[in-house]
């Protein structure tokens, strides 16, 4: 953002006051920490505290872009064959209408607690049938360790007893079940990691729009943000709300603002909808837009 002087404000907005009066008011706002002067001879720009005061106390009604998106989403039905297609469509519309970087994460359950397990030998393979939280059924197919078929029935009983008491405590596995138990433990760990990876990542659109903003005209200034979006998008989205500058826990976002809303899917998963842009973004429009998308996702994914 370019610093603005008192004469520019009077001329552009017809304030009906002299530049000296406006300059005095700007000085008072600067003393309160709401404006800052980047250079002695320059005008002033809002400080991070100024933006926060604006968001908390002066936020206007949503702009036309947010209302257009809300109308568009009202009649939206689930016509996508895959969840990612829906999320990509919504992410693109968010970016197109706001000119900001949009992110939508897939809904992810914090934990999928194992509730029941069944082991079935099939030749040299071991079929593992799992029932997880939300009554989700899954099957795993792994190699049956040599001489381990006789261990399956007692291993299944041991696991069932463990699940009645809480998470499986593998340290208490009887030594006579070591062979099949080690194979099962590794398979369950791999399954858990793969489930976590399925939920990670974000559907992002609008990087070109972000690059067009004066604050990010230097590509190098965006590199940490781009790397964060690609490698660890969940670090970008700590919790719902509006994050301005250094309020965000990650340094890559300290020159940005993030507006975020959460949504829940029918199976209890939680996803995020967010817009990332300069601190001078249209907060009312951004907040209304992410809220509308979160609401429509909850409706479609019940």
**pLDDT at position 219, please?**
55
Q: Examine the fold and report which residue of 199, 226, 248 is the final residue of a domain before the chain moves on.
A: 199
Same-domain status, 64 and 37 = no
How far apart are alpha carbons 265 and 201 in whole angstroms? 17
pLDDT in tens, 43-77: 899 999 999 999 999 988 877 777 777 777 766 65
Residue 51 forms part of a structural domain: no
Q: What residues contact 105, with CB distance under 8 A and at least 6 apart?
A: 199, 200, 201, 202, 203, 233, 234, 237, 271, 272
pLDDT in tens, 172-211: 889 888 888 888 888 887 776 555 545 556 778 888 888 7
pLDDT in tens, 244-260: 998 888 888 888 999 99
Same-domain status, 293 and 205 = yes
**pLDDT at position 114, please?**
78
Question: How many structural domains is the chain composed of?
Answer: 3
Sign of torsion over alpha carbons 292, 262, 259, 79: negative
Pick from 32, 31, 24: nearest CA to 6? 24
**pLDDT at position 257, please?**
93
Sign of torsion over alpha carbons 219, 225, 229, 230: positive
Same-domain status, 192 and 214 = no
Same-domain status, 118 and 93 = no
Same-domain status, 84 and 206 = yes
Residue 153 forms part of a structural domain: yes
Same-domain status, 216 and 229 = yes
């Amino acid at each position: 953002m370019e610093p603005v002087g008192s004469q520019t404000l009077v001329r552009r907005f017809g304030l009906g006051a002299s530049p000296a009066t406006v300059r005095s008011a700007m000085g008072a706002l600067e003393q309160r920490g709401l404006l800052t002067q980047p250079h002695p001879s320059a005008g002033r720009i809002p400080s991070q505290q100024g933006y926060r005061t604006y968001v908390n106390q002066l936020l206007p009604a949503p702009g036309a872009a947010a209302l257009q998106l809300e109308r568009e989403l009202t009649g939206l039905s689930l016509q996508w064959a895959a969840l990612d297609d829906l999320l990509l469509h919504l992410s693109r519309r968010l970016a197109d209408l706001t000119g900001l970087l949009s992110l939508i994460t897939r809904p992810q359950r914090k934990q999928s607690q194992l509730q029941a397990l069944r082991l079935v030998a099939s030749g040299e393979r071991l079929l593992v049938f799992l029932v997880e939280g939300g009554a989700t059924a899954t099957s795993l197919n792994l190699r049956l360790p040599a001489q381990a078929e006789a261990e399956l029935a007692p291993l299944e009983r041991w696991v069932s007893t463990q699940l009645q008491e809480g998470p499986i405590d593998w340290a208490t596995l009887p030594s006579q079940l070591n062979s099949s138990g080690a194979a099962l433990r590794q398979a369950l760990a791999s399954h858990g990691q793969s489930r976590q990876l399925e939920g990670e990542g974000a559907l992002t659109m609008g990087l070109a729009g972000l690059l067009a903003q004066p604050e990010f005209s230097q590509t190098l200034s965006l590199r940490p943000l781009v790397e964060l979006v690609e490698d660890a998008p969940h670090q970008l989205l700590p919790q719902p709300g509006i994050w301005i500058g250094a309020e965000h826990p990650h340094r890559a976002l300290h020159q940005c603002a993030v507006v975020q809303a959460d949504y829940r899917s029918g199976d209890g998963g939680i996803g995020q909808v967010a817009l990332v842009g300069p601190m001078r973004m249209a907060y009312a429009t951004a907040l209304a837009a992410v809220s509308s998308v979160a609401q429509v996702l909850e409706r479609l994914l019940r």
